[in-house]
Amino acid sequence: MNTHMESMDHAGALLSRISAQQELPERALTAAREALRRTWQEEQEHSTTVLRGYRPTAFILRVERQELVFRHDWRTVPFVRTHVGLYLRDPERRSQELAAGYYLFDTDPQGTVVDDWLVPDIPRMGGPAGRAQQDEPQ
């Protein structure tokens, strides 16, 4: 077997082990839900429209990938980045989901959160259906 491939397999196994031991997917999903909740609360208090009126519970969250970042412009230690996709049900085709942004959750090798951020990118959909009135995805 190619030594480069063996190295990549080893790196993948290491990332999987770190992710499982530190429960990174579960923690990232919990943190993403909390970021959505805080953003919703700020919208209510300051009349902003970052989430375009969608309640946090309207979003479908999915851990899409994890990366071991070993080289970065402004961070000196390696870190694990967990990428959570945000989705909304398509009001016209209820069986489909529309991409609505993402949440990034960065942790150091010990599992300490070093950075996180929510990037909503809500598609424009007609009418209020599915927005503030919708508590849960259908």
136 assigned to some structural domain: no
34 assigned to some structural domain: yes
66-to-13, 14, 117 alpha-carbon distances in Å: 12, 12, 15
Confidence label for 30 from pLDDT (cuts 50, 70 and 90)? very high
CA distance 55 to 132: 6
105 assigned to some structural domain: yes
9 assigned to some structural domain: yes
CA distance 67 to 7: 15
Supply the pTM of this predicted model: 0.82
Burial class of residue 27 in the structure, from the number of CB atoms within 10 Å of its CB (0-12 exposed, 13-18 middle, 19+ buried):
middle
Q: What is the pLDDT of residues 74-128, one digit of tens each?
A: 777 788 999 999 999 877 777 789 999 999 999 998 899 999 999 999 987 654 4
Structural domains in the chain (count): 1
CA angle 62–58–43, rounded 5-degree value: 110
Domain with 48 in it: 3-120
Q: What is the pLDDT of residues 34-70, one digit of tens each?
A: 999 999 999 999 988 899 989 999 999 999 999 988 8
CA distance 75 to 81: 13
44 assigned to some structural domain: yes
125 assigned to some structural domain: no
CA distance 3 to 96: 42
127 assigned to some structural domain: no
133 assigned to some structural domain: no
CA distance 134 to 138: 9
